[in-house]
Structure 1
């Protein structure tokens, strides 16, 4: 019923981190520029110096800022940020132009996902294949758009995990934040029957160890997904895969 003092502190910390983080990601404070002093932030946000210092440590850990004696806390270039950090992803999503965001997301998926599917076909174990199949079956059984989106995310995450390569896993982990937006848009279309056929082709290629088949099926799935989003949003935005 009542929050503990520690929970309240965490809530305040999260709120302040969100406000400062979003302002940095949005470009209100540019790379190389100095944040307001601790005391100024305390006054602007009506929080304690302890909270501000913890927020600065958090943002430092995410690569957004760096603190140096006598020179204050400066914003680092975006190339130095941990772009796969869940909070940074969320702040990006909240401040981005949606079409630009979708274009960048598809550029990443087109570059990586066919290779991940091919690798999964070579390395996936029974549990990996079962999880991919669970995602597919959830999509097939979904009655609501939200159910379809949740199952679609499970399907694609499971492919990245099935690679057995831990360097692919952060991409899978970011999908719950980043793909939910594009999948939610796409779920409003009338293409679900075709999408199920395409997902099944990817599943079967991975399950039978057909690496090149998995790569080709994923390319088809991504190309048609991009076409669906272009049609739904009414404009060109994404770099499509070849093939």
Structure 2
């Protein structure tokens, strides 16, 4: 129970900071006020504050108190930070940085996957692709299978550092996938692009695999640009992945 209370308090404080409820450089409410606001003990608040310090969102000290740090100090590879930003609403800067990161990391990772993927790796990516296809045709969770597909590519690169980045990358990629999934026929149009990546990895053709993933990333960028150019409010990512309806 204490872990659940800590996690809930951490989420509430994290989302409050990311939503700019507490201004950068300004002192946050005193500990007793936070305890009263969240209905928790000082121990819980203190543990949550320690976690936020570790994630780069705040700084504490006897002379400065507890203050919010600028966004460029936040740990954007921390899945919690990504989740909080996604929940309170994506920003143009966040989406731009996401596309840039994908362009840097994924082509190199997919080249390695095409060189190094084992039979088991390919079977896992195939299973993820089958799940995406089934979600389109029969209805279901497309986003989770899409994440599984890209996670499988990172694992197939057989690089321990890339593998350890996968948790943060999963959280980042989910935001892109949900934007594409929200578009009419988005998943159906994206599926052949995923197939091209998979076929290139199966063929152990690194150059073809790189071209295919770049085409897939470009398609996602177009989806994001459409969101940025619209007058709609920046989207929020769902706590649970959206489910597709069965194809007519």
What's the TM-score, normalizing by structure 1? 0.80
Task: Trace 1:1-243 onto structure 2 (pairs within 5 A).
Answer: 7=1, 9-97=2-90, 100-142=93-135, 143-144=137-138, 146-187=140-181, 188-190=183-185, 192-228=187-223, 230=225, 233=227, 235=229
The alpha-carbon deviation at position 185 of structure 1 amounts to: 3.6
Tell me, yes or no, if the aligned pair for 2:179 and 2:223 is still in contact at 8 Å.
no
Aligned length: 229
* Unmatched segments (≥5 aa) in structure 2: 232-248
Q: Is the 8 A contact 2:77 2:169 kept in 1?
A: no
The residue matched to 2:26 in structure 1 has which SS? coil
Per-residue deviation, 1:98: 5.5
Structure 1 Cα separation of the partners of residues 117 and 143 of structure 2 = 23
How far apart are residue 42 of structure 1 and its match? Answer: 1.9
* Residues 60 and 67, structure 2, Cα contact 8 Å, conserved in 1: yes
Structure 1 residues 102-121: Cα deviation after superposition (integer angstroms, max 9, x where no partner): 33322221222112111211
**How far off is 1:88 after superposition?**
0.8
- CA RMSD of the aligned region, Å? 2.7
Instruction: Report the counterpart of residue 4 of structure 1 in structure 2.
Output: none
Q: 1:130-157 CA distances to partner (integer Å, 9 max, x unpaired)?
A: 2111111222232355432222111111
User: 1:3-54, CA deviations, whole angstroms, 9 ceiling, x for partnerless residues?
Assistant: xxxx1x3333222212221122222323333222222322333321111111
Distance 2:159 2:28 in 1: 38
How far off is 1:215 after superposition? Answer: 0.5
Change (3 A) 1:217 1:68: same
Q: Which one scores higher on RCO, CA 8 angstroms, separation ≥ 6?
A: 2
Residue pair 2:114, 2:206 contacting (<8 A) in 1 also: yes
